[in-house]
Amino acid sequence: MFIRKAALVSLPVAVALLAAGCGGGGGSTASSDNSDGTVTIYETEPQNPLTPGNINDAGGIKALDELWAGLVGYDPDTAKPYNLMADSITSSDAKVYDIKIKQGWKFHDGTTVKAKNFVDAWNYAAYGPNAQLNADFFSQIQGFSDVHPEDAKAQPTAKTMSGLKVLGDYEFQVTLSAPFSVFPTKIGYEGFDPMPDSFFTDPAGFAKKPIGNGPMKFVSQTANQDIKLTRFDGYQGQDAVHFKDLDLKIYSDLDTAYSDLQSGQLDFMEFMPPAALVGDKYKTDLQGRNLDAGLIDIDAVALPSYVPGYDNLDLRRAISLAIDRDTIIKQVLNNAYTPATSFFSAHLDGNTPNSCTYCKFDPTQAKALFAKSGFTGKLTIASNSDGGHKEAMTAICNSIAKTLGVPCDFVPQASFGQFRSMITSHQATGMVRSDWGADYPSIEDFLNPIFKTGASSNDAVYSNPKVDALLTQADSTADKDAAVKLYQQAEKLVEADLPKIPLWNEKGTGGYSSRLSAAKLSWKRQPDVSSFRLAPTS
Amino acid sequence: MGRYVLRRLLQLIPVFLGTTFIIYTLVWAIPVDPFAGKCGQRPCPPAYVAAMRAKFNLDDNLFVQYVKYLGRLFTGDFGQTFSGTDVSTLIANAYPITVRLAVVALVIEALVGMTAGVLTGLRKNGFADNLVLVATLMLISLPVFVTGYILRGLFGTPRGTSFVDLIVPGIVLGSLSMAYVSRLTRTSIAENRRADFVRTAIAKGLPTSRVVGVHLLRNSVIPVITFLGTDLGALMGGAIVTEGVFNIRGIGGLVFTNIQQQQGVVVTGVVTLLVLVYLVMSLVVDLLYAVLDPRIRYE
């Protein structure tokens, strides 16, 4: 079903290519379609060695997405998951999953991708002493607590998770500790990629020359300068690339990268520098080669429940109604965002527009609710001040202060690290900026990590037993549509309590150079390299 | 002379120990856990944080950490970044580029600056003198990033890291010092033009080129050499702004990003190296004095 959809999507691309006289899509070796050319894209230095278990930064993921192919891929236009390496993922109870993988896929070193490559990779990433950044992604698998005790000092009692079982060369079984219906979507995350046997004998050496199973293979990495990849001709997936070499060039300055993009020295950027966003300048600069991502994210401010006075529903509602989102987006945020009207991203299946009834600007009602709340004192919003956050948060404060007649201050934090440690140690003294970008495209990812009691990113320290119960019920509902309905009910309960105030969703703008004739930007703000087509050279 | 050099070299040791300790302390004194914001909106897995803290001795007290670091440094191990890259690799990648850029900038500023200085010094208050005066004033008052953005707009960013590729960034980087060099040379030449040895040389009937080129220039160039020497030391410390504007992956940007990420090992390693370079450069400049002016002797 997913494959058919993807085929429909690729149709316009093919038409466009024919119209441009390129002589059709992949497989052609004629030199006129530039299929042996090099593409250079914007990159930031990866924060860890290039292995799926240990990469969670955007720069690293960009390289991983080409080097590896997971069980599940996401459609570049709709963000819907489709089976990439998986042949089928089946479950009757959302607890035990039977995963069959496609045969004939190879790693770049020529070895066949088998079920055990997945199982071994997951066990390695989850094992506590291996200290992998993505270990928590495996926490739902049965036996995780044995290999990864919650206390970092405790010794694990097992080396492998009991919930993973190899059933054959091309089939394995995953048993979760509790039912989780979104698991087939979640395993598209890069941390779930398979690892070749050579990785396990020498992980450190492997990281210097990673071997994956994706559309491109590793050529070289020069720390702090660039990463070079080249097309893997044995690749079987539908997201193969249509050029030969990919050069991921590391930039420390967006403006510099942007000037290179205009001159054709750089071919793709998933960010636009703020100066180019002013008055939509980038659209004229790039002559229509700009891209909208439809990012799956939400920006919000959390009202930590432990802050005195914030335990007042009328106050929280009054604050939300006092924020003039439209004007702030227009005047401060260069129109790079759309006002949030729900707790999800507008691009997600299951999102109901306007489900957040208090996410609008209504000064009269705001004033009335604020008077009713009886709040006295000062409001504050804390955030790290870099990356344009200072301007946005100050604008929100001004909007609140103007509407409610209450003093509101922006509290700057020196760095993101300092800001986050203030939140995780529950030492905020007012509202805090609390943004969220999805790990995988599902409304579940906007609820469980944020609103469940004790969840990893529950910045508001929100706890509602009814919400917890509904989320657990939704997780264990195998039927997708029924699960979505339950998640939506949970959103309604959250909306009634308003522990976090949704602000806006970022659009995500990027662009490509005149050397390319087609390119796409994905929902997680990454280039969709398989959609890149080099423009014919005249 | 030999004893002087030896004494100067021995002075490097306490300076080296002092600077490394101060830098190490300053970086680790930033009151934030470097792993607090590393995993975005969610906290990093405790097992990861614990392993990293152990690997980088973050749970020892500062002095123990420093001694451990120094011990590894003496075995030639600059340590690793949080991402497992050897700091020595980072330096080996970035430093040749920075040195090339510094040399290009130095050559440009020395050639252009000294030529302009000699011309204007010989013909004070002429047209050329006024022209250079206005031009240098402009260069001094323009911030580096302005010249940088203008030239980047005209020529783009360098496509490689060879000497030729780095000429445009070199002009930007050297423009300010170029102005100082021309002013310094001009003053020095103008002063020495009336000196006894110049008049003697002219009276002996020497050709003008020899009077200016050998007698006048050699004796006027000492303050300029001092300036160029320390300037090369500063240039080799990397140029954060110029490197950023032209996306040159040199040492300046490396230090800057690693201060932001609190990678103390990288910052300490690189800055220690820079301190050494600076000290050696100033020693070389001091020794050059003796070569240029026989009146200066080191005992």
Q: CB distance A437–B50 less than 8 Å? A: no
Question: What's the gap in Å between the CA of A252 and the closest CA on chain B?
Answer: 6
Residue tagged 């300068």 (tokens): A225
3-state secondary structure of A423: helix
What pLDDT score was predicted for residue B35? 83
Residue-wise pLDDT tens digits, A187-234: 999 999 999 999 999 998 999 999 999 999 999 999 889 999 999 999
Distances in Å between the Cα of A181 and the Cα atoms of A184, A228, A475, A478, B132 are 7, 38, 5, 5, 75
Residue A38 identity: T
The answer to whether residues A393 and A439 touch, using CB atoms and an 8 Å cutoff, is no
Residue of chain A minimizing CA distance to B251: A224
Query: For chain B, what are the domain ranges?
Result: 93-265
Helices (H), A68-159: 115-126, 144-147
Interface residue B45 vs chain A (CB under 8 A):
yes
Residues of B whose CB is below 8 A from A128: 47
Beta strands (DSSP E) in A232-378 are 245-250, 268-269, 290-292, 297-302, 337-339
3-state secondary structure of A8: helix
B:96-155 residues touching chain A, CB 8 A cutoff: 152-153
Question: What's the gap in Å between the CA of B73 and the closest CA on chain A?
Answer: 21
Question: What's the gap in Å between the CA of B87 and the closest CA on chain A?
Answer: 10
Q: CB distance B47–A128 less than 8 Å? A: yes
Q: CB distance B83–A132 less than 8 Å? A: no
Residue A313 identity: L
From A152, A224, A256, residue closest to B50, measured CB to CB:
A152
Q: How many CB atoms lie within 10 A of CB B220?
A: 26
Q: CB distance B83–A259 less than 8 Å? A: no
Residues of B whose CB is below 8 A from A260: 156-157, 247
Number of domains in chain A: 1
B:63-82 residues touching chain A, CB 8 A cutoff: 82
Mean pLDDT for the stretch of residues A383-410: 92
Domain ranges, residue A352: 297-506
Token reading at A243: 């050029």
pLDDT classification of A98: cutoffs 50, 70, 90 = very high
Query: Given a cut of 70, is residue A510 above it in pLDDT?
Result: yes
Residue tagged 């504050």 (tokens): A380
Q: CB distance A150–B46 less than 8 Å? A: yes
What pLDDT score was predicted for residue B236? 81
Interface residue B46 vs chain A (CB under 8 A):
yes
Q: Is residue A161 part of a domain?
A: no
From A415, A456, A459, residue closest to B32, measured CB to CB:
A415
Question: What's the gap in Å between the CA of B258 and the closest CA on chain A?
Answer: 11
Residues of A whose CB is below 8 A from B36: 417-418, 420-421, 424
Q: CB distance A449–B247 less than 8 Å? A: no
Residue of chain A minimizing CA distance to B47: A152
The answer to whether residues A119 and A166 touch, using CB atoms and an 8 Å cutoff, is yes
Distance CA A239, CA A4 (A): 14
Distance CA B96, CA B104 (A): 12
Distance CA B255, CA B267 (A): 6
Distance CA A191, CA A68 (A): 10
Mean pLDDT for the stretch of residues A250-269: 92
Question: What's the gap in Å between the CA of A447 and the closest CA on chain B?
Answer: 14
Residue of chain A minimizing CA distance to B97: A225
Q: Is residue A476 part of a domain?
A: yes
Residue of chain B minimizing CA distance to A226: B249
From A47, A133, A253, residue closest to B244, measured CB to CB:
A253
What pLDDT score was predicted for residue A34? 62
Predicted TM-score of the model (pTM): 0.85
Q: What is the distance of C-alpha A341 from the center of its chain? A: 20
Q: What is the distance of C-alpha A381 from the center of its chain? A: 25
Distance CA B204, CA B87 (A): 60
For chain B, the three-class secondary structure string (H helix, E strand, C coil) is: CHHHHHHHHHHHHHHHHHHHHHHHHHHHCCCCCCCCCCCCCCCCCHHHHHHHHHHCCCCCCHHHHHHHHHHHHHCCCCCECCCCCEHHHHHHHHHHHHHHHHHHHHHHHHHHHHHHHHHHHHCCCCHHHHHHHHHHHHHHHCCHHHHHHHHHHHHCCCCCCCCCCCHHHHHHHHHHHHHHHHHHHHHHHHHHCCCHHHHHHHHCCCCHHHHHHHHHHHHHCHHHHHHHHHHHHHHHCCCHHHHHHHCCCCHHHHHHHHHHCCCHHHHHHHHHHHHHHHHHHHHHHHHHHHHHCCCCCCC
Beta strands (DSSP E) in A91-156 are 96-101
Q: Is residue A187 part of a domain?
A: no
CATH code at A379? 3.10.105.10
Burial of A462: CB neighbours in 10 Å, binned 0-12, 13-18, 19+: buried
Q: CB distance B83–A133 less than 8 Å? A: no
Interface residue B267 vs chain A (CB under 8 A):
no
Residues of A whose CB is below 8 A from B41: 420, 434-437, 457, 459
Q: CB distance A263–B247 less than 8 Å? A: no
What pLDDT score was predicted for residue B31? 67
Q: CB distance A418–B260 less than 8 Å? A: no
Which one-letter DSSP state was computed for residue A507?
Answer: -
Question: What's the gap in Å between the CA of B15 and the closest CA on chain A?
Answer: 30
Question: What's the gap in Å between the CA of A12 and the closest CA on chain B?
Answer: 35
Interface residue B31 vs chain A (CB under 8 A):
yes
Q: Is residue A310 part of a domain?
A: yes
Which residues are CB-neighbours of A162 under 8 A, at least 6 positions away? A142, A143, A146, A175
Q: Is residue A320 part of a domain?
A: yes
What pLDDT score was predicted for residue B108? 94
Residues of B whose CB is below 8 A from A131: 45, 47-48, 50-52
More confident residue, A34 or B175: B175
Q: Could you give the angle at the alpha carbon of A55 between the alpha carbons of A51 and A57, nearest 5°?
A: 145
pLDDT tens string, chain B, 299 residues long: the values are 788 888 888 888 888 888 888 888 887 777 677 788 788 888 888 888 888 888 888 888 888 888 888 888 888 888 888 888 889 999 999 999 999 999 999 999 999 999 999 989 888 888 888 999 999 998 889 888 899 999 998 998 888 888 999 999 999 999 989 999 999 999 999 888 888 989 999 999 999 888 888 888 888 888 898 888 888 888 887 788 899 889 999 998 888 888 877 787 888 888 888 888 888 888 888 888 877 777 777 76
Residue A396: which H helix or E strand, with range? helix A389-404
Residues of A whose CB is below 8 A from B83: 46-49
Question: What's the gap in Å between the CA of A201 and the closest CA on chain B?
Answer: 18
Residue tagged 């020693």 (tokens): B283
Which residues are CB-neighbours of B209 under 8 A, at least 6 positions away? none
Residues of B whose CB is below 8 A from A56: 39-40
Distance CA B159, CA B136 (A): 29
Which one-letter DSSP state was computed for residue A176?
Answer: B
The four Cα atoms A454, A456, A462, A465 give a dihedral, to 10 degrees, of -50
What pLDDT score was predicted for residue A330? 93
* ipTM higher than the 0.85 cut: no
Sign of the alpha-carbon dihedral angle for B67, B70, B74, B75: positive
pLDDT classification of A20: cutoffs 50, 70, 90 = very low
Residue-wise pLDDT tens digits, A265-293: 999 999 999 889 888 899 999 999 999 88
Residue-wise pLDDT tens digits, A222-240: 988 999 999 999 999 999 9
Share the mean pLDDT of chain A: 90
Q: Is residue A6 part of a domain?
A: no
For A271-286, the three-class secondary structure string (H helix, E strand, C coil) is: CCCHHHHHHHHHHHHC
What pLDDT score was predicted for residue A432? 95
A281 phi, psi to nearest 5 deg = -55, -35
pLDDT classification of A154: cutoffs 50, 70, 90 = confident
Distance CA B282, CA B100 (A): 19
B236 phi, psi to nearest 5 deg = -75, -15
What pLDDT score was predicted for residue A296? 93
The answer to whether residues A418 and B32 touch, using CB atoms and an 8 Å cutoff, is yes
Least confident of A19-23, A405-409, B32-36: A19-23
Which residues are CB-neighbours of A349 under 8 A, at least 6 positions away? A80, A441, A442, A443, A484
Question: What's the gap in Å between the CA of B270 and the closest CA on chain A?
Answer: 14
Q: CB distance A224–B249 less than 8 Å? A: yes
Say if domain B93-265 classifies as CATH 1.10.3720.10: yes
**Do the bridges between strand A297-302 and strand A290-292 make them parallel or antiparallel, or are there none, so unpaired?**
unpaired
Interface test with B, best of A259, A385, A525 (most B CBs within 10 A): A259
Distance CA B227, CA B297 (A): 20
Question: What's the gap in Å between the CA of A457 and the closest CA on chain B?
Answer: 5
Question: What's the gap in Å between the CA of A11 and the closest CA on chain B?
Answer: 37
Residue of chain A minimizing CA distance to B148: A256
Residue of chain A minimizing CA distance to B159: A265
